[in-house]
Amino acid sequence: MEKTDAFEEVLEFAIEREIEAYEFYTGLAEYLSDDKVREMFEQLAEEELEHKAKLELELVKLGKTITIREVPEKYVKKSVLIGDKVSLDMDYKDMLLMAIEKEEASFRTYVNLLPNAYEQETREVLMAIAEEEVAHKLRFQNEYNQLMKKQ
């Protein structure tokens, strides 16, 4: 397998991870009654779509044609409830802890992808997304810390 083919697979994997993150945050937002918290999850879902778009652009630069995958609304709910084992009675603290874990995993994914990127510009895109994932994790950790102080 050529370097380009392997890197295309890596980018496609990362794109799927961003779609999963979008579905996760969108699904969580649907079940939250607190407007501020729901908006936070919705905003993070949108940021995951921005990451997806950046990764897709890298694929286009490699000459790859991309197919846009639409996510049916009913699938979003199922992926959150079944795929991530989130239940409607899950409390906000547990949602935050799960989100912290997911963002840590996303960060590690992008760091691990860096050695596979041979173009400097692509490496910079992956590094920028990794930094954004760390920022998401810190945002959740701060929210979690604030919640713990109130209890």
Name the residue ranges covered by the structural domains of the chain.
3-150
Round to whole Å and give the CA distance between 48 and 15.
9
pTM for the full model? 0.76
Averaged pLDDT for residues 39-47: 92
pLDDT tens digits for 80-123?
A: 443 445 555 578 888 889 899 989 999 998 998 888 887 888 88
Round to whole Å and give the CA distance between 137 and 111.
15
The CA-atom distances, in angstroms, between 31 and each of 70, 102, 126 are 21, 18, 31
pLDDT of 36 reads 87
Round to whole Å and give the CA distance between 28 and 38.
8
Give the rounded distance of the alpha carbon of 75 from its chain centre: 17
Asked if pLDDT for residue 43 goes beyond 90, the answer is yes
pLDDT of 136 reads 94
CATH of domain 3-150: 1.20.1260.10
Round to whole Å and give the CA distance between 97 and 99.
5
